[in-house]
Amino acid sequence: PVLVVDYGAQYAQLIARRVRDARVYSEIVPHSMPVEEMLAKKPAAIILSGGPASVYAEGAPRTDPALFEAGVPVFGICYGFQAMTVALGGTVESTGKREFGGTPLTVSEECALFAGLPERQSVWMSHNDSVTAAPAGFTATASSEGAAVAAFEDRERRLAGVQFHPEVAHTPHGQAVLQHFLYDIAGIAPTWTMSNIIDDQVALIRDLVGEKEVICALSGGVDSAVAAALVHKAVGDQLTCVFVDHGLLRAGEAEQVEKDYVAATGIKLRVVDAAEHFQRELAGVSDPETKRKIIGREFIQIFETVQRELKAEHDVEFLVQGTLYPDVVESGGGTGTANIKSHHNVGGLPEDLRFTLIEPLRTLFKDEVRRLGLELGLPEAMVYRQPFPGPGLAIRIIGEVTPDRLEILRAADAIARAELTAAELDRSVWQFPVVLLADVRSVGVQGDGRTYGHPVVLRPVSSEDAMTADWSRLPYELLAKISTRITNEVPEINRVVLDVTSKPPGTIEWE
């Protein structure tokens, strides 16, 4: 792999993704990892990320000079560029010339990094200190007003660095610069493709599972669907999928899992229809947290029962989970290379239900999982599905959850989704909850008569990761169409309102 050494910047994940966009596999490692350990991973190259510290600040992370003596190509970015300079004997100074944001860069020398790119270009900078002298053996190849040395390279030793951030979209030629490093300086071939990933994973999973049995819980979401499809490709009918239908899904979603998914994959599916059960448990409850607790508790119980039955029937040993790379990185799980890790007590499973976990998506980002899903032949509607909360529509009905209310909300939600898709905005909008204010009524007029119906709230949001969000500025025409259709087609609803709150202070869901 290419290792991206994280110096504490929010950019490390972005760098890893850009490297993968160049079809080269990358992994993030913490800067505290000893050099021997990095080298033990046999990296094709190492990229040092940006970071918030000044190289001269007390306790600032240093780069071990041994890193540059192993013959492994290294690329320093921003802080990594300066740390590399210091480690190799160049000079970093606090010149008082800070640069933040789009900055003109001048390329002064023939070089590999900027080959074929314009001599003057805009790059994204974010630095206080600057490199004023490149280390011995390096050629300084570019500069900006505030950075005497804004890029350097030593082709002999396959080392290079830049002061700016090539990984951000605000550096228009950034991807080209990164690829020049990967392909031309480090000599790496772009061979990391979805079909290679599938082949590798299939071989690994077959090897691990042998003749044994595997189960997987499908949630209706993208991750579990792709993980199961991959495992199915490897072991076929040794995999059984379980889908607990809690009756709180949106229109067409249970059918999508039961029909489209099975048709596309041929997976053996056990559907547990638990709608009535959940309905009974939720009767009379309107407090949001109580709803969530009930749903979580019942879900685990039902799933455990099925697991126990299946385990007794087939002696199941493995459980598939759709864990993604950001979760692995965030939980400090370090490297993604171990695709399969052993686990004993998954998500609160009782001791007598021991499974070995298979997590075939542990090394992938969400957009890569989507591409993998398409490559595996899953329907686009499933692969590009927006995130949907586990407790489902229960937390989008403000008030008690009843079958009637679920039906009303499903109808309104289906209209909003269909119109968003027709306007081709479903992939740019992160999520589009429709919320039924079931205990609120307002007066309206329709046809010749007075109505006294319920409002629904449209809550379209844009977001990167659901941690923060902004309300989506949907075109008025589209909002008008959704409003007209909902009030015409869903008799119980006589008012449609738009939520214009960002997160924070609002959350995405209303409960």
Q: Which of 229, 114, 134 is nearest to 178 (CA)?
A: 114
Residue 146 Cβ vs ligand XMP, minimum distance, rounded to whole Å: 39
Stretch that binds ligand XMP, among 69-77, 400-408, 470-478, 502-510 (CB under 6 A): 502-510
Any bridge partners for residue 450, and if so which? 445
For 214, other C-beta atoms within 10 Å of its C-beta total 25
Does 266 belong to an annotated binding site? Answer: no
- Catalytic site residues? 78, 165, 167
470 with 431: CB under 8 angstroms? Answer: no
User: In Å, what is the CA distance from 273 to each residue of 49, 246, 249, 306, 384?
Assistant: 49, 7, 12, 12, 25
397-398 and 434-437: which strand pairing? parallel
Lay out the site mask for ligand XMP across 311-340 (x = CB under 6 A, - = otherwise): ------------------------------
Count of residues that interact with ligand XMP, criterion CB under 6 A: 10
Instruction: Assess 503 for contact with ligand XMP (CB under 6 A).
Output: yes
Stretch that binds ligand XMP, among 63-71, 334-342, 346-354, 500-508 (CB under 6 A): 500-508
Q: Using CB under 6 A, pick the residue from 258, 260, 281, 509 that binds ligand XMP.
A: 509
Return all residues near 384 (Cβ < 8 A) that are at least 6 apart: 222, 370, 426, 427
Q: Which of 375, 327, 363 is nearest to 19 (CA)?
A: 363
Instruction: Assess 507 for contact with ligand XMP (CB under 6 A).
Output: yes
Residues in 431-460 that interact with ligand XMP by CB under 6 A: 431
Residue 469 Cβ vs ligand XMP, minimum distance, rounded to whole Å: 7
Does 225 belong to an annotated binding site? Answer: yes
**Segment (H or E) for 369:** helix 366-375
Return all residues near 75 (Cβ < 8 A) that are at least 6 apart: 45, 46, 47, 48, 159, 160, 161, 162, 178, 181, 185, 186
Does 322 belong to an annotated binding site? Answer: no
Does 83 belong to an annotated binding site? Answer: no
Residue 18 or 291: the one with the smaller Cβ distance to ligand XMP is 291
Does 222 belong to an annotated binding site? Answer: yes
Residue 258 or 499: the one with the smaller Cβ distance to ligand XMP is 499
Residues in 39-78 that interact with ligand XMP by CB under 6 A: none
Instruction: Assess 101 for contact with ligand XMP (CB under 6 A).
Output: no
**Segment (H or E) for 92:** strand 91-93
Residue 422: strand, helix, or coil: helix
Any bridge partners for residue 242, and if so which? 217, 270
**End-to-end CA separation in angstroms for the chain:** 42
Residue 174 or 389: the one with the smaller Cβ distance to ligand XMP is 389
- How far apart CA 18 and CA 496 sit, in angstroms, is 41
Residue 403 Cβ vs ligand XMP, minimum distance, rounded to whole Å: 21
Residue 375 or 509: the one with the smaller Cβ distance to ligand XMP is 509
Lay out the site mask for ligand XMP across 382-401 (x = CB under 6 A, - = otherwise): -----x-xxx----------
- Tokens representing residue 245 in the block: 């239908």
Residue 315 or 465: the one with the smaller Cβ distance to ligand XMP is 465
Phi, psi (5° rounding) for residue 149? Answer: -115, 105
Does 224 belong to an annotated binding site? Answer: yes
Residue linked to tokens 């899953």: 378
The DSSP symbol for 503 reads B
Residue 328 Cβ vs ligand XMP, minimum distance, rounded to whole Å: 18
Instruction: Assess 201 for contact with ligand XMP (CB under 6 A).
Output: no
494 with 456: CB under 8 angstroms? Answer: no
- How far apart CA 450 and CA 453 sit, in angstroms, is 10
Residue 295 or 372: the one with the smaller Cβ distance to ligand XMP is 295
Instruction: Assess 508 for contact with ligand XMP (CB under 6 A).
Output: yes
Residue 389 Cβ vs ligand XMP, minimum distance, rounded to whole Å: 3
Residue 297 Cβ vs ligand XMP, minimum distance, rounded to whole Å: 12
Phi, psi (5° rounding) for residue 508? Answer: -70, -55
Residue 468 or 488: the one with the smaller Cβ distance to ligand XMP is 468
Does 126 belong to an annotated binding site? Answer: no
Annotated binding site: 219-225
**What residues line the site for ligand XMP (CB under 6 A)?**
387, 389-391, 431, 466, 503, 507-509
Annotated binding-site residues for ATP read: 219-225
